[in-house]
Amino acid sequence: MRGLGEFRLLRRLRAKSPPLPPAVLAGMGDDAAVLQPSPGFALVATVDVLVEGKDFHWEWCPAEAVGHKGLTVSLSDVGAMGAIPRYALVALGLPARTPVKRVDALYRGIWEAAEASGVAVVGGDLSEAPCLILSVTLIGEGETDHLIRRSGAKVGETIWVTGPLGRAAAGLCALKAGYRPERSAVKGRRATHIPPKARKAIRETIRAQLYPVARYREGRILAEAGIATAMIDLSDGLASDLTRLAEESRVGARIFADRIPVDPSTRQVAELVGLDPLRLALGGGEDFELLFTSGAASAAIEDALARKGFARPHAVGEICPTDERLTLVGPRGRQEPLGSGFEHFR
Tell me how far, at minimum, the Cβ of 3 lies from a copy of itself, in Å.
8
| Residue 154 Cβ vs a copy of itself, minimum distance, rounded to whole Å | 17
Closest CB 4 distance from a copy of itself, rounded Å: 7
Q: Which of 26, 155 has the CB closer to a copy of itself?
A: 26
Pick 123 or 277: Cβ nearer a copy of itself: 123
Q: How far is the CB of 140 from a copy of itself (least distance, A)?
A: 7
Footprint of a copy of itself on 24-63 (CB under 8 A): 25-26, 29-37, 39, 41-51, 53-55
Closest CB to a copy of itself among residues 71, 138: 138
The number of residues that bind a copy of itself (CB under 8 A) is 75
Those residues whose C-beta lies under 8 Å from the C-beta of residue 77, and which sit 6 or more positions away, are 46, 48, 138, 233, 235
Tell me whether residue 48 or residue 287 sits nearer to a copy of itself (CB atom).
48
Q: Considering the complex, state which of residue 53 and residue 264 has its C-beta at the smaller distance from a copy of itself.
A: 53
Q: Is 264 in the site for a copy of itself (CB under 8 A)?
A: no
- For the segment 325-344, give every residue that binds a copy of itself (CB under 8 A): 343-344
**In this structure, how many other beta carbons lie within 10 angstroms of the beta carbon of residue 19?**
8
Q: How many CB atoms lie within 10 A of CB 309?
A: 7
Q: What is the footprint of a copy of itself within residues 85-144 (CB under 8 A)?
A: 87, 89-91, 93, 96, 122-131, 133, 135, 137-140, 144
Name the phi and psi angles at 58, rounded to 5. Answer: -55, -30
Best CA proximity match to 92, nearest among 71, 72, 75, 112:
71
- Name 306's Cβ contacts closer than 8 Å, sequence gap at least 6: 312
Q: Does 83 bind a copy of itself (CB under 8 A)?
A: yes
Q: Out of 2, 176, 183, 197, which residue is the one contacting a copy of itself (CB under 8 A)?
A: 2
Residues 136-165 that bind a copy of itself (CB under 8 A): 137-140, 144, 147, 149-151
- Judged by CB under 8 A, the chain residues 173 through 212 that form the site for a copy of itself are none
Residue in 256, 260, 261, 259 with CA at minimum distance from that of residue 320 = 256
Tell which residue, 180, 205, 206, 210, has the closest CA to residue 192: 180
Return the residues of window 231-250 that contact a copy of itself according to CB under 8 A: 231-233, 244, 248
Pick the piece of the chain touching a copy of itself (CB under 8 A) from 80-88, 156-164, 303-311, 330-338: 80-88
The phi and psi torsions of 310 (rounded to 5 degrees) equal -100, 160
- Choose between 125 and 258: whose C-beta lies nearer to a copy of itself: 125
How many degrees, rounded to 5, is the angle at CA 286 between CA 47 and CA 153?
75
Residue selected from 13, 63, 71, 81 as contacting a copy of itself according to rule CB under 8 A = 81
Helix axes 63-79, 216-224, angle to 10 degrees: 10
Q: Which stretch binds a copy of itself (CB under 8 A): 76-84, 107-115, 171-179, 329-337?
A: 76-84
CA distance to 153, 211, 277, per residue, from 207 (Å): 32, 5, 17
What is the DSSP secondary-structure string of 189-202? STT-BPPHHHHHHH
185: burial class by Cβ within 10 Å (0-12, 13-18, 19+)?
middle
Q: How far is the CB of 49 from a copy of itself (least distance, A)?
A: 5
